[in-house]
């Protein structure tokens, strides 16, 4: 065997596993970044320091602050949120646990395809549980709104979706422009 062939094989022997580990590390970092709330880790506060993220408490995606709720409606919404607080917290805690378990499985020293897939399936179930809980609470709050408030809420949701789509499009365009500017090779 030639020295050159031996060096090539030795180089490949460490480069391939290193490349795989770096790739998995990048996926792990991306997963952690995506799992963080918009304002970073810690207390979940949406824009303007309000609790609950987009659309009001619990991520209901209802623009409650813009619907001119009456005082009795506010009290009823508060009551619904209190009734569901523990179930929502439990579902959220489980989701965080499973995300951490997936992170551990992905960054394990030895890649275990079966374990990663099992935890990923568990993550899908946990995300489903959170979504069902959020939909349940949203439905309860929706029933408290007047027909006019429901129409306004739907209009505001459509506006919000359009703005999100516009942002997504602009981000994509910026990415394409950056890719065109970068030299190839």
For 49-79, the pLDDT digits (tens) are 334 444 444 466 688 888 889 999 999 999 9
Q: Which domain holds residue 21?
A: 1-30
**pLDDT reading at 109 higher than 60:** yes
Kindly state whether residue 40 falls inside one of the protein's structural domains: no
Q: Is the dihedral of CA 53, 55, 60, 61 positive or negative?
A: negative
Q: How confident is the model at residue 130 (pLDDT cuts 50, 70, 90)?
A: very high
For 15-55, the pLDDT digits (tens) are 666 655 555 555 544 454 454 444 344 444 343 333 444 44
Kindly state whether residue 133 falls inside one of the protein's structural domains: yes
Kindly state whether residue 96 falls inside one of the protein's structural domains: yes
- Report pTM: 0.58
Q: How many domains does the chain have?
A: 2
124 token code pair = 């899908």
Kindly state whether residue 57 falls inside one of the protein's structural domains: no
Residues 8 and 93 in one domain: no
CB contact set of 59 (below 8 Å; sequence gap of 6+): 52, 53, 134
Residues 73 and 118 in one domain: yes
- Pick from 62, 41, 49, 64: nearest CA to 134: 62
The lowest-confidence range among 7-11, 43-47, 55-59, 81-85 is 43-47
């Amino acid at each position: 065997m030639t020295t050159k062939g031996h060096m090539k094989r030795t180089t490949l022997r460490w480069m391939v596993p290193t490349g795989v580990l770096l790739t998995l590390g990048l996926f792990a970092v991306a997963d952690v970044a995506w799992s963080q709330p918009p304002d970073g880790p810690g207390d979940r506060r949406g824009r303007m320091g309000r609790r609950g993220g987009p659309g009001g408490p619990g991520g209901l995606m209802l623009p409650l602050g813009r619907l001119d709720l009456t005082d009795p409606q506010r009290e009823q919404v508060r009551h619904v949120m209190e009734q569901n607080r523990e179930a929502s917290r439990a579902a959220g805690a489980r989701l965080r646990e499973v995300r951490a378990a997936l992170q551990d499985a992905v960054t394990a020293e030895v890649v275990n395809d079966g374990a990663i897939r099992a935890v990923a399936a568990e993550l899908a179930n946990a995300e489903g549980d959170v979504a069902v809980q959020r939909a349940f609470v949203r439905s309860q709050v929706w029933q408290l709104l007047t027909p006019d408030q429901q129409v306004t809420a739907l209009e505001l949701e459509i506006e919000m979706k359009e703005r999100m789509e516009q942002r997504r499009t602009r981000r994509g365009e910026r990415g394409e422009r950056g890719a065109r500017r970068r030299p190839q090779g």
